[in-house]
Structure 1
Amino acid sequence: MQTDLVTIGAACLVTLSLLYWGRGASRLMRGQPLLPFEPSAAAPWGLMDLLFAMLAMLILQSLAQAGVLWSLGIPLETKPSNYTTQTLTWMIGAGGIANLAAVGLAACWMWLRSGARLYEFGLSSKKLSYDLAIGAAGFAMLAVPVYGMQAILSQWFTPHHPLIDRLEANPTAELFWASGLAAVIAAPIAEEFFFRLILQGWLERAATGVSIQELIFGGRVADVTSPGKVAPSNAEDTLQQPAEKTLIPQEENPYASPQPAEDGASNQDEDQLGVLRPMSAEEAAAWRPRGAYWPILTSAFLFAGMHWGHGPAPIPLFFLAIGLGYLYQQTHRIVPCILVHFLLNATTFCVLLSQTQ
């Protein structure tokens, strides 16, 4: 019965994938992108924020592991191969919680240091239903190629993943619950936050041609950014070239007094993700010059490298990460990426669960 359900589910997934890829091919043939591009403000964080986020994750992971060992009375120098099933359960669960805590800590740091807003964290309540829809479509399009590559490569390379190996060796209910928390809930949120939002967002900021100081320390660029259009890098430049002032007509806002605004400057609705002002066709095209996709490839390479030693997994995961990076670059929202990652891990976890029962 479980085998039949897996087969039916796989057939449905393949059918959906073919349908969505057919629609995507149709768009490409008409000269349109797979997903419409939405202009966005440059990420306000810099290299020091990226390093802080990485350090926070490493420290919290170490503290979580040490706390579990200490609470169970196990020496810190004990090798993981000697852990009992109970110890493994607690370690995996604590690791997942530590990842989520690292996300919260890094987000608070960036909010306090750079004043990052909700839309700059890749979130938008107004676009939630749209993000869920394109996330589900992205899963259908990416899952089949990723699983297909994994199946083909597994003919020559032995699949290996420490979490899956532990579940197959110790298929207890407690270990499955802890693994589900770590792999299905915590991993998609944490990995998309760090690799797509922070890392790729920072790399895209580097692609705009900002100064070294801004690249390291961050800071908000006041205009819609593209590799061909950069706002003034410091206050002195702004003072040397003052913008002409105009008045916003009273009719546009009957509840507020007229306010001065710079010509071409943005009036940002913080609930709208990333769109500072309407972008012209020329500015939107500026995101497609030479090197525009290197932030996607760089973050994808590092994401795949994090899974080195897991058999052939880094190869299909590299192509998965390219798809996730494309989703983020086109929307600059993180919900679609998290949903794709969540559905992929959940599907793998459910198949594993059916095989071990």
Structure 2
Amino acid sequence: METQFAAVLGAVVIAGFVAAIVLWTGVIRSYFGSEIAFSESILPVEPRQVPFWRVFDFLFAFGLSLVLTILIQGIFISQGWIERFEPDESIPLQTLVASLVGQSLSGLLVVGVTLAWLRLIRPDAVKQLGFDWKASDMQLGFRASAMLIPPTLLISSAVSYLVPYHHPVMESLEKSPSIGIFAILFVGTAIIAPLVEEFLFRVLMQGSLQQLADSIANNDDTVIDREETPSPHWTPRSYWPIVVTSVIFALMHFGQGAAPIPLFVLSLGLGFLYRQTGRITPSLVVHCVLNGFSLSAEFARLWVEKAS
């Protein structure tokens, strides 16, 4: 059974790489012979309103997430849901799961509170933050998944030979590869975590840095009124906000072995998606697909080993 599983997983991975090569080849072919920039051949930038939120709003949300995480973890400890353990001991399964649940709860609260705060400034904040729904964004997200995830997995596999990969979610699943544990971890890591991270890093951080970067590039000292609706014809110009956001995003995963390296590369792609569209859905789909695939593949592997 393990051999059959390895064959199926290998076929899926190969199909993913073939799809990535075909899609990237199409992009490169469309670029040569045209007069448009390479970034525009990948994905044309969409005009929109200049971001009204600032770096302060990101710092507010990030600080709130730290406070809420500590508060919820403290409540869980007081209820006995999180057990204390020595540094050289393995983390108990109950503690791992409870910690992840606490992080998910704090993340959802951060998104909700921050959206409420920004809506006090601008009633249309939810739309301007990129939460407006477009069915085409789902298609774009899945297409981008085929282009970004295979290279990310290839880099991850390469660097894992140098530095072993560690992640509490995978450790939880390895300790108890049950459907119940898998369902809890899947909701937390493949749905909630991507939503929180894309909102914090792609929207709040990159969006605010983009507004700042373009103001500097244009030598524009005009102060934008956060409560007034600006022109809907703004398009981003600078690219360094993507790089800065990706560096910080990767460093936030420090302690998971060499994971920051492939995550930095992935974040560049996610940042590009958000820069060109101004909406969260495309990058969120890619993030969800990657986390969901990684977790599902690991669960299937452990389940096959247990059944053998």
Same topology, TM > 0.5 = yes
Counterpart check, 1:147 vs 2:153: yes
Tell me by how many angstroms 1:149 deviates.
Answer: 0.6
Shift of 1:92: 1.5
- The answer for unaligned runs of 5 or more in structure 1 is 225-275
Structure with higher Rg: it is 1
Q: Is the 8 A contact 1:42 1:220 kept in 2?
A: no
Q: Does 1:90 align with 2:98?
A: yes
1:1-357 to structure 2, matched below 5 A, reads: 1-29=4-32, 30-32=34-36, 33=40, 34-72=42-80, 81=89, 83-125=91-133, 128-209=134-215, 219-220=226-227, 222-224=229-231, 276-277=232-233, 287-288=236-237, 292-357=238-303
Secondary structure in structure 2 of the residue aligned to 1:118: helix
5+ long unaligned stretches in structure 2? 304-308
Give 1:17's aligned amino acid: A
Q: TM-score with structure 2 length normalisation?
A: 0.86
CA RMSD of aligned residues (A): 2.4
User: 1: distance between equivalents of 2:215 and 2:131?
Assistant: 25
Scaled by the length of structure 1, what TM-score is found?
Answer: 0.75
State how far apart, in whole Å, the 2-side matches of 1:45 and 1:38 are.
19
Q: Per residue, is there more helix in 1 or in 2?
A: 2
**2:81 and 2:197 mapped to 1: Cα distance?**
31
Deviation of residue 213 (structure 1)? 9.7
Is the 2:96–2:168 contact (alpha carbons within 8 Å) kept by the matching residues of 1? no
Paired residue type of 2:154: G
Q: Check the 8 A contact 2:50/2:211 in 1, yes or no.
A: yes
Kindly provide the amino acid, as one letter, of the partner of residue 91 in structure 1: S
Q: CA deviation at 1:180?
A: 1.3
Measure, in 2, the Cα distance between the counterparts of 1:31 and 1:13.
30
Distance 2:81 2:289 in 1: 37
Aligned-partner residue type, residue 347 of structure 1: F
Deviation at 1:96, TM superposition (A): 1.3
Paired residues of 1:41 and 1:221 also in contact (CA < 8 A)? no
Q: In 1, Cα distance between the equivalents of 2:197 and 2:144?
A: 17
Q: Give the fraction of aligned pairs with identical amino acids, expressed as a percent.
A: 29
Question: Relative to structure 1, is the Cα distance of residues 28 and 73 closer, same or farther in structure 2, using a 3 angstrom cutoff?
Answer: closer
Aligned counterpart, 2:306: none
Amino acid at match of 2:253: H
Does the 8 A contact of 2:243 with 2:268 survive in 1? yes
Q: What is the CA distance between 1:212 and its match in structure 2?
A: 8.1
Please tell me the residue identity of whatever aligns with 2:45.
F
Q: Is the Cα–Cα contact under 8 Å of residues 60 and 98 in structure 1 kept in the other structure? A: yes
User: Which amino acid is the alignment partner of residue 97 of structure 2?
Assistant: T
Question: What are the Cα deviations for residues 129-151 of structure 1, in whole angstroms up to 9, with x where unaligned?
Answer: 21011111111000111011111
Which sits farther off after the overlay, 143-152 or 110-119? 110-119
8 Å CA contact 1:142, 1:320 repeated in 2? yes
